[in-house]
Structure 1
Amino acid sequence: MNGPMIVTLATLAAASALFISGKIRADLVAVAALIVLMLAGVLKPEEALAGFSNSVVVMMIGLFVVGGGIFRTGLAKLVSRKLLQLAGTNETKLLLMVMLATASIGAFVSNTGTVAVMMPIVVSLAYSAETTPGRLLMPLAFASSLGGMLTSIGTPPNLVIQEALKAGGYGELKFFSFAPTGAICLVTGILAMLYLRRFLPKNEGGAASKSRKRSAGELENEYRLSEHLLRVQVKKDSPLLDKTLLELRIPARFQLTVIEIRRKISARNQFFKTINQEVAGPESIIQEADVLYVLGPREDVSAFAEEYGLVVLDSGEPEISGGSQGGGAYATSDMGLAEVMLTPKSRLIGKLVKESGFREKYRLNVLGIQRKDQYILHQVKEEKMRFGDALLVQGTWEDIALLASTASEVIVVGQPLEESRKITMDRKAPIAAGILLLLIILLVTEWVPAVTAVMIAAVLTVALGCIRGMEEAYRAINWESIVLIGGMIPMSTAIEKTGAAELLSSGLVNSLGQFGPMALLAGVYITTSILTMFISNTACAVLLAPIALAAATQFGANPHAYLFAVSIGASMCFASPFSTPPNALVMSAGRYKFSHYLKVGLPLQILMGIVMIIALPLIYPF
């Protein structure tokens, strides 16, 4: 072995040990490995940095954005709700359904694209079923690779061996020629996961749900807002038109408080925002078709509506097209609810709510007060605030966040901006579904390169408002996974460049060839399976396909078994988070450590090898 090869293998061994220990972040280890290879002269700087411009890395960035849009629009929640109706909350049924659905998509779409499509749905499904996403995300990633073995286009190694057989004069494989071996892989993988799932992160869904802060929807239910906060719509002939709330003196005359006005601002383009929301203030002017959110007893609201010719909207009636955004009737992606606690030395203690300055300083309305076990929702502004009171406030999420960051007199419970991201924009769900469908069509038909298709989908996700601007798009990207993959791709370049890959592959195959075709088949599969943990599955297949074909020809054996061993061995890599993009994609969301891949993925990878070494000669006799 030459010096560069020794440095490369030593760096790889050290990086693997650090990955397994988990004491240092995986992305930092990957970057440190790159630096070592550059300092040792194994890789030039442009070679070391090539991983970050690799199409796989660019695809992963775009797919994170598309996945964020699927989450943000509530599409994931909608689909997961349908799946939950089919499988219930039984974990075994959920796992089977997730793996079968993922494998079915993975047969026609790249495994990276499949995971990106399914991941937000599965995370939402896990939360709905009150289980931790880590119980389902690793099976999802593995199923995408298993499904790729069902068709000729499911995974790049399939295309590589198809070309090798054609060039060798052994005919062209059909689209479903891979289905028999793919079906065995899928059944083996699913049965194995039913046992191996015990090593996945334990279900903490119940505990987590009890300890987390209350969401806006839960606050609505706790304060029973639907019983006290009613909506009325202004008709075209109403006496309220073009008058300010100050002129109308509604609180004095009806003991009601108008807290919010929602107004239709556009009907021409449903891709963009159609509802304007504003916290009601003294200078707010009433316009035709406005929906007023009024706090007070139902009988007083009815009297107010009757005098001014308003329509009282019951809880089941939509206010205006495009108004639903998830998260309940009184919290949307723009407007939020939060609880505010008074500090022990707050100067607000003993003051009336109307003297608190919440509306004047922060544009927030106080909707109610929780005082011990009592909820005060009427004539709130005339109540004196006491220590221990919890105030329910409503306003824009930004204004609530401003209160949380600047006010010293109160404590805002929870993180308003984080909470706002949980409120889905349901009106955009059809657009997100359309973008997703377009992405799948482009990936299946290959009208444009896969990376181009993903970039188109990502840009459309932002441009059509399925994710709220570039800032949120950047937040949707898991940069740890991106740096990990970008940092490890050049490692495969170093392994190939120094001759380590060729030395390992040819040496192992040559040494086993003397023991007969079965031993050679096992050698081809094992070599491929080991190599694919360190270099890309496509590069691994390209490297070993001609070696396997030559070895089979030398023996006078059917080369199909050997080349299928290369394809399957290159694709069935589960023991490492950086061996395939799907494994990396789910690492953060599933809260996996390197040890989880060793405990679950390594046994599955070994089992798959044993099964396929036995099955391949039966399907393709020597």
Structure 2
Amino acid sequence: MATTIVILLITVIMFVSGKLRSDIVALCALTSLVLLGILTPEEALSGFSSTVVIMMVGLFVIGGAILQTGLAKVMSQKIIKLARGNDTGLFLLVIFVTAFIGAFVSNTGTVALMMPIVVSMAAQSGVRPSRLLMPLAFASSMGGMLTLIGTPPNLVIQEALTENGYRPLEFFSFTPVGLICIAVGIIIMLPLSKVFLFKNNENESNKEGRGKTLDELVEEYNLSNGVRRYLITSVSDIKGKTVAELNLRNNYGLSILEIRNENNSSGGIIRNVTQSLASPGTILAERDIIYLMGDKKKMDEFAKKARIQKLDKNNIDFYDLGITEIVLMPKSRLIGTRLINSGFREKYSINILGIKRNKDYILDNLTGEKLCPGDVLLVQGKWSNIAKLDDEETDWVVLGQPEKQAMQVTLDYKAPMAAVIMAVMVFAMVFDFIPVAPVTAIMTAGLLTVLTGCFRNIEAAYKTINWESIVLIAAMMPMSVALEKTGTSAMISHSLVEVLGAMGPTVLLCGIYFTTSLLTMFISNTATAVLMAPIAMTSAIEIGASPYPFLFAVTLGASMCFASPFATPPNALVMNAGGYKFGDYIKVGLPLQVIIGIAMTFVLPLLFPF
């Protein structure tokens, strides 16, 4: 027992100090428990096969799909519109929306669904994500107190009551308690988040060194005004011809920027878009959309002769194809070479859309242009080919980071698909009559987002998983096994309750809340509720009081645990995204946890008399 307590204390100290990454600290604690024989290897690795951990992995993927498809941006824009530019309004909306969802969906699922929306919302409104993400995690736990199914500890105390012959709680018996928790949470979090959670954003601090955004490049080179879209119909004369046969550059001075094909089915939910560069041998087909670049009069002349249909929307999207800038080095082998002989097209399948030379922009008659030192070339191609420019050559420097730019491009045509998958998953988790376990629903949804193309590739899906948070939770879960196995948790709970029981029901109620709250910092909230519920029941019977307020103290203590990042999965989910340290949870979460406990000590007897 003593050894387990020492390891636990050292672990907490290392978490607070922040000298080592939290996942490494958790792994060190786990390894120590195995080496000292307190846990078997099977017990130590049980966290990595836990349904909670598997759910977290799946929810990270689903959250990534919500971001990648632009669904998060759409939803966040609606919330921003409701907030009307007010930071406090934005904060309150995040709390209320999260708490409402948390009343019916697991708090882990709630945070995973809301986190990409909040991150997108913060980026659009200029608020740091750190200001909103920790309150988001706490609000999901508070929302869980609104209904019977909101959080597992609620079901635990319901079972304890029915097993001992007491009247079971109704679905909304928890609502008054949950509403008070949310009210207290807002009052405490609003000022504390302003003081402690304004973290410096690394992206902002490095803003000077970043590359230009895709929209900035389009605007700078005036691409939108020089590009038009045309649809090849069944009557078009160019249907079935190759790009080389059109000879557009010689006949009209035009160039085909890209060829796109869009397929729709199921009312627009299943939609696929393919983009490709126009190679000489590419055969044009019906329903292809060609992007022409050049003189508008020449484009009209060609369109009329070819009988192709002009489309109204001329904006440039970057799904499969992207653009970036490269600057030629002074000693590049391409200096003095005409662009047509540069080999970009042949070696990299890259188009050159424009040249910036000093302050001049050259967009017409590019093929005969000789390259000069310091020329900035605007290049277009598949993201993978653009990345190769950065990997393989020393003749130029790629400005910006193509891989990160590709990740930021939203596949907005897949947003309806992501929304349907998310809605079906939530539906399956909320309604018990659907014979699908929550972990199964999440795994299925995560897999579907990959199979239906909500990500650019499988690697992009893997990159959405925050492995530090996953390892942190998985490695800390067996700590609860060690505490129970050595009798540490039972000793703490029984001792505190025995000491406080003689001081009256109010003091005992307070003691049960804070004992449960303390244990939840190191044991899962469900396990703590299972451990403390019979103790609370027995204590209430011994002093001749109603067990209802004491059992509510158990579920509150187990659910309102905010002072540690690994106390609940939601706390861990937002840790990396918000850039939080262990100390941030203590600064904001501990006061909130304590004040809710004090408030409930006086409120619970009013709602459920002794």
State the TM-score, normalized to the length of structure 2. Answer: 0.96
Residue of structure 1 in register with 2:181 after alignment: 185
Q: 1:398 aligns with which of 362, 384, 389?
A: 384
1:170 deviation in Å? 2.1
Question: Which range moved further: 243-252 or 521-530?
Answer: 243-252
Question: Which range moved further: 535-544 or 274-283?
Answer: 274-283
- Aligned residue for 1:201, secondary structure, equals coil
The amino acid that maps onto 1:358 is: F
Tell me the distance in 2 between the aligned counterparts of 1:264 and 1:56: 39
The amino acid that maps onto 1:170 is: Y
Asked if 2 retains the 8 angstrom alpha-carbon contact of 1:99 and 1:139, the reply is yes
Cα shift readout 1:295-335 (whole Å, capped 9, x = no counterpart): 2121221222223222232336xxxxxxxxxxxx3342211
Residue of structure 1 in register with 2:340 after alignment: 354
Tell me the distance in 2 between the aligned counterparts of 1:437 and 1:272: 15
Q: 2:254 aligns with which of 253, 256, 261?
A: 256
Asked if 1 retains the 8 angstrom alpha-carbon contact of 2:51 and 2:439, the reply is yes
Q: 1:60 aligns with which of 56, 61, 77?
A: 56
Asked if 1 retains the 8 angstrom alpha-carbon contact of 2:265 and 2:271, the reply is no
1:293 deviation in Å? 1.4
Residue of structure 2 in register with 1:21 after alignment: 17
1:243 deviation in Å? 2.6
- Aligned residue for 1:380, secondary structure, equals coil
Asked if 1 retains the 8 angstrom alpha-carbon contact of 2:270 and 2:417, the reply is no
Tell me the distance in 1 between the aligned counterparts of 2:307 and 2:148: 67
Q: 1:526 aligns with which of 490, 514, 519?
A: 514
Tell me the distance in 2 between the aligned counterparts of 1:96 and 1:220: 37
Residue of structure 2 in register with 1:200 after alignment: 197
Question: Which range moved further: 536-545 or 248-257?
Answer: 248-257
Residue of structure 1 in register with 2:216 after alignment: 218
The amino acid that maps onto 2:179 is: A
Q: 2:349 aligns with which of 363, 371, 395?
A: 363
Q: 1:315 aligns with which of 313, 316, 330?
A: 313
2:549 matched to 1:561?
A: yes
1:237 deviation in Å? 3.1
2:97 matched to 1:101?
A: yes
- Taking a change above 3 Å as real, the CA distance of residues 304 and 36 of structure 1, as seen in their structure-2 partners, is same
2:588 matched to 1:600?
A: yes
Question: Which range moved further: 468-477 or 44-53?
Answer: 468-477
Residue of structure 1 in register with 2:232 after alignment: 234
Tell me the distance in 2 between the aligned counterparts of 1:441 and 1:269: 21
The amino acid that maps onto 2:493 is: S
Residue of structure 2 in register with 1:345 after alignment: 331
1:209 deviation in Å? 5.6
Q: 2:115 aligns with which of 114, 119, 122?
A: 119
2:264 matched to 1:276?
A: no
- Aligned residue for 1:375, secondary structure, equals strand
Question: Which range moved further: 401-410 or 226-235?
Answer: 226-235
Q: 2:304 aligns with which of 299, 306, 309?
A: 306
Asked if 2 retains the 8 angstrom alpha-carbon contact of 1:245 and 1:283, the reply is yes
Q: 1:550 aligns with which of 531, 538, 544?
A: 538
- Aligned residue for 1:393, secondary structure, equals strand
1:178 deviation in Å? 0.7
Tell me the distance in 2 between the aligned counterparts of 1:512 and 1:592: 36
1:132 deviation in Å? 2.1
Tell me the distance in 2 between the aligned counterparts of 1:161 and 1:454: 26
1:213 deviation in Å? 2.2
- Taking a change above 3 Å as real, the CA distance of residues 356 and 273 of structure 1, as seen in their structure-2 partners, is farther
1:580 deviation in Å? 0.2
Asked if 2 retains the 8 angstrom alpha-carbon contact of 1:295 and 1:367, the reply is no
Equivalences for residues 465-614 of structure 1 within 5 A: 465-614=453-602
The amino acid that maps onto 2:597 is: G
Residue of structure 1 in register with 2:241 after alignment: 243
Question: Which range moved further: 453-462 or 574-583?
Answer: 453-462
Asked if 1 retains the 8 angstrom alpha-carbon contact of 2:407 and 2:460, the reply is no
Tell me the distance in 2 between the aligned counterparts of 1:174 and 1:211: 57
Asked if 2 retains the 8 angstrom alpha-carbon contact of 1:166 and 1:172, the reply is yes
The amino acid that maps onto 1:252 is: N
- Aligned residue for 1:394, secondary structure, equals strand
- Aligned residue for 1:150, secondary structure, equals coil
Asked if 2 retains the 8 angstrom alpha-carbon contact of 1:201 and 1:592, the reply is no
Tell me the distance in 2 between the aligned counterparts of 1:212 and 1:299: 38
Tell me the distance in 2 between the aligned counterparts of 1:235 and 1:201: 55
The amino acid that maps onto 2:443 is: M
The amino acid that maps onto 1:256 is: L
- Aligned residue for 1:258, secondary structure, equals strand
Asked if 2 retains the 8 angstrom alpha-carbon contact of 1:439 and 1:453, the reply is yes
Asked if 2 retains the 8 angstrom alpha-carbon contact of 1:271 and 1:464, the reply is no
Q: 1:464 aligns with which of 452, 456, 476?
A: 452
Residue of structure 1 in register with 2:6 after alignment: 10
Tell me the distance in 2 between the aligned counterparts of 1:574 and 1:32: 23
- Taking a change above 3 Å as real, the CA distance of residues 263 and 166 of structure 1, as seen in their structure-2 partners, is closer
1:273 deviation in Å? 6.1
- Taking a change above 3 Å as real, the CA distance of residues 551 and 471 of structure 1, as seen in their structure-2 partners, is same
- Taking a change above 3 Å as real, the CA distance of residues 341 and 331 of structure 1, as seen in their structure-2 partners, is farther
2:77 matched to 1:81?
A: yes
Tell me the distance in 1 between the aligned counterparts of 2:327 and 2:11: 48
Residue of structure 2 in register with 1:297 after alignment: 295
Tell me the distance in 2 between the aligned counterparts of 1:584 and 1:15: 16
Cα shift readout 1:493-539 (whole Å, capped 9, x = no counterpart): 10011011011111011111121111111111111111110101111
Question: Which range moved further: 172-181 or 275-284?
Answer: 275-284
Tell me the distance in 2 between the aligned counterparts of 1:237 and 1:165: 75
Question: Which range moved further: 249-258 or 582-591?
Answer: 249-258
Tell me the distance in 1 between the aligned counterparts of 2:162 and 2:292: 73
Tell me the distance in 1 between the aligned counterparts of 2:237 and 2:515: 83
Residue of structure 2 in register with 1:69 after alignment: 65
Asked if 2 retains the 8 angstrom alpha-carbon contact of 1:366 and 1:393, the reply is yes
The amino acid that maps onto 1:360 is: E
- Aligned residue for 1:381, secondary structure, equals coil
- Aligned residue for 2:157, secondary structure, equals helix
Residue of structure 2 in register with 1:286 after alignment: 284
Asked if 1 retains the 8 angstrom alpha-carbon contact of 2:271 and 2:413, the reply is no
Tell me the distance in 2 between the aligned counterparts of 1:272 and 1:404: 34
1:547 deviation in Å? 1.0
Asked if 2 retains the 8 angstrom alpha-carbon contact of 1:185 and 1:608, the reply is yes
Cα shift readout 1:395-425 (whole Å, capped 9, x = no counterpart): 1101111111112211111221221121111
1:269 deviation in Å? 10
CA RMSD, Structure 1 to Structure 2 (Å): 1.8
1:140 deviation in Å? 0.5
Q: 1:148 aligns with which of 124, 130, 144?
A: 144
Asked if 1 retains the 8 angstrom alpha-carbon contact of 2:484 and 2:490, the reply is yes
Equivalences for residues 396-475 of structure 1 within 5 A: 396-446=382-432, 447=434, 448-475=436-463
- Taking a change above 3 Å as real, the CA distance of residues 255 and 456 of structure 1, as seen in their structure-2 partners, is same
Asked if 1 retains the 8 angstrom alpha-carbon contact of 2:269 and 2:416, the reply is no
Q: 2:153 aligns with which of 147, 150, 157?
A: 157
- Aligned residue for 1:152, secondary structure, equals coil
Question: Which range moved further: 265-274 or 277-286?
Answer: 265-274
- Taking a change above 3 Å as real, the CA distance of residues 267 and 117 of structure 1, as seen in their structure-2 partners, is closer
State the TM-score, normalized to the length of structure 1. Answer: 0.94
Cα shift readout 1:230-256 (whole Å, capped 9, x = no counterpart): 222233333323332323221112111
Question: Which range moved further: 106-115 or 260-269?
Answer: 260-269
> Which consecutive residues of structure 1, in runs of 5 or more, have no partner in the other structure?
317-328
- Aligned residue for 1:392, secondary structure, equals strand
- The count of aligned residue pairs is 606
